[in-house]
Amino acid sequence: MDVQTTFLDRLFQSGLLIDTGVDGLYGRSGQFEDVIAAFERLIDKFGGADGAEAMRFPPGMNRAFFEKSGYMKSFPQLAGTVHSFCGSELDHINLLQCMEVGDDWTKDQQATDIVLTPAACYPLYPTIARRGKLPMSGGLFDLQSYCFRHEPSQDPARQQLFRMREYICMGTEQHVTDFRQSWMDRGIEMMKAVGLDVTIDVANDPFFGRAGKMLANNQRDQNLKFELLIPITSVAKPTACMSFNYHQDAFGAKWDLYLEDGSVAHTACVGFGLERIALALFHHHGLEVKHWPSKVRQALWG
C-alpha cells in the first residue's frame, strides 16, 4: 500500500473525509469543515482591510461564458459539463430499458446551459465586463466556489470537487503585479502562523497535449504562475496549496475589461485550495484537532 492510500484511509477511518465510492469525491465531517471555516477567517484577517467586493457563485457557470473562456482549448481533460434528459415519453421508456439491462443510458442526455465551474474566478470576468469601464484605481474581488476537475485520484489532495477561495485583482500592470507579490508574502506569513513550512516556486498549468507543452513552457518562462507548496502526501513532490497567477492583459482582452483611460485591464488572481490547506494541517499536526499545538489553534480559533 502506498503512502497516499494510507493517508486517505486514515482520513476515512477518522471520519474527516467520507467515502462516496468515487475517487476524489468525498463528504467532509463537521470537524473538517470547521478547519476550513477557521482558515477562511484567517484569510479575511489578512485580506479584509483591502476592501475586496465579495461575490459567491454556485459551482456551475453559464456554458456560453465557459466556451468563450477557451477552457476547452487548454484543459479539455478536466472539464465537466451538465447534461439532462430532454426527451419524449418514448425516449424515457428507452432510457429506463437501457438502465434495466445495464446499457449506457447517458448517451442521449442533452447538454444544458450549465457547465461545472473549473476555477472560482471564471464567472467573474464577464460579470465585471458588463458593468463598463473599471476606475483607474482598479477592481478587487473576493470569491469562493466549489470547482470541478475531472482528475480522479487516490491522493486526497487531488479531488474532483473542491473549494477554491480567490482574490482577483484588475487594473494596471503595476497594480496587479504588486497585488500578486503582496499575497505571496502574506501566504508565507499565514502558513507560518498555522505551523506549516512552505516553499514558493514557479509553476505551470496542466495544458493538454503537445501544443500544451509550449504553452506551459511559455507560462514558466514568463513567471506567470507561482505556487505555494506544502508537503502533504509526498516530501519530494509537495502539493500546491495556493497559486498566484498573472494573466497579463489576456483576460482583459478576451472579456473586454477596460480601464477608464481606454487601456485593457491587466488581471491577476490568488487562489487558496481550501481542502488542500485543511489536509496539510491534518497531515502535519495530526487528525485530532484538540492535540494541535496551542499556537496553531490560537491562530485559527483565536
Among 128, 129, 134, 269, binds Zn ion (CB under 5 A): 269
Could you say whether residue 275 binds ligand ATP (CB under 6 A)? Answer: yes
Taking the complex as a whole, the smallest distance from the CB of residue 254 to ligand ATP amounts, in Å, to: 17
d(CA 193, CA 198): 11
Q: CB under 5 to 8 A by kind: which of Zn ion, ligand ATP, none does 241 bind?
A: ligand ATP
Among 28, 149, 180, 283, binds ligand ATP (CB under 6 A): 149
d(CA 60, CA 72): 16
Taking the complex as a whole, the smallest distance from the CB of residue 271 to Zn ion amounts, in Å, to: 5
Pattern 9-48, ligand ATP, x by CB under 6 A: ----------------------------------------
Q: Answer whether 60's CB lies under 8 Å from 82's CB.
A: yes
In the complex with ligand ATP, which residue's Cβ is closer, 95 or 246?
246
- Per-residue buried b or exposed e for 15-50, using 16+ beta carbons within 10 Å of the residue's own CB: ebbeeeeebbebebeebbeebbebbbebbeeebeee
d(CA 38, CA 302): 9
Taking the complex as a whole, the smallest distance from the CB of residue 86 to ligand ATP amounts, in Å, to: 30
Of 167-175, 239-247, 257-265, 294-302, the window that binds ligand ATP (rule: CB under 6 A) is: 239-247
d(CA 250, CA 224): 12
Nearest Cα to 168, choosing from 182, 185, 180, 181? 180
Among 69, 117, 233, 243, binds ligand ATP (CB under 6 A): 243
Could you say whether residue 142 binds ligand ATP (CB under 6 A)? Answer: no
H-run or E-run covering 62:
strand 60-62
H-run or E-run covering 296:
helix 294-301
The neighbour count for residue 152, using CB atoms within 10 Å, is: 12
In three state form, how does the secondary structure of 185-233 look? HHHHHHHHHCCCCCEEEECCCCCCHHHHHHHHHHHHHCCCEEEEEECCC
Q: CB under 5 to 8 A by kind: which of Zn ion, ligand ATP, none does 121 bind?
A: Zn ion
Q: Which of residues 121-150 bind Zn ion (CB under 5 A)?
A: 121
Q: CB under 5 to 8 A by kind: which of Zn ion, ligand ATP, none does 269 bind?
A: Zn ion
Classify 60 as helix, strand or coil.
strand
In the complex with ligand ATP, which residue's Cβ is closer, 164 or 169?
164
Could you say whether residue 238 binds ligand ATP (CB under 6 A)? Answer: no
Of 135-143, 167-175, 202-210, 246-254, the window that binds ligand ATP (rule: CB under 6 A) is: 202-210
Among 60, 238, 252, 273, binds ligand ATP (CB under 6 A): 273
Cell numbers describing residue 172: 494596471
Number of residues lying near ligand ATP (CB under 6 A): 20
Could you say whether residue 252 binds ligand ATP (CB under 6 A)? Answer: no
In the complex with Zn ion, which residue's Cβ is closer, 121 or 281?
121
Residue-wise DSSP of 226-284 = EEEEE-SS-SSS-EEEEEEEE-TTHHHHHHT-BBTTSPBPEEEEEEEEHHHHHHHHHHH
- The residues of the shown chain that bind ligand ATP, judged by CB under 6 A, are 119, 149, 151, 157-159, 162, 164, 203, 205-206, 227, 240-243, 271, 273, 275-276
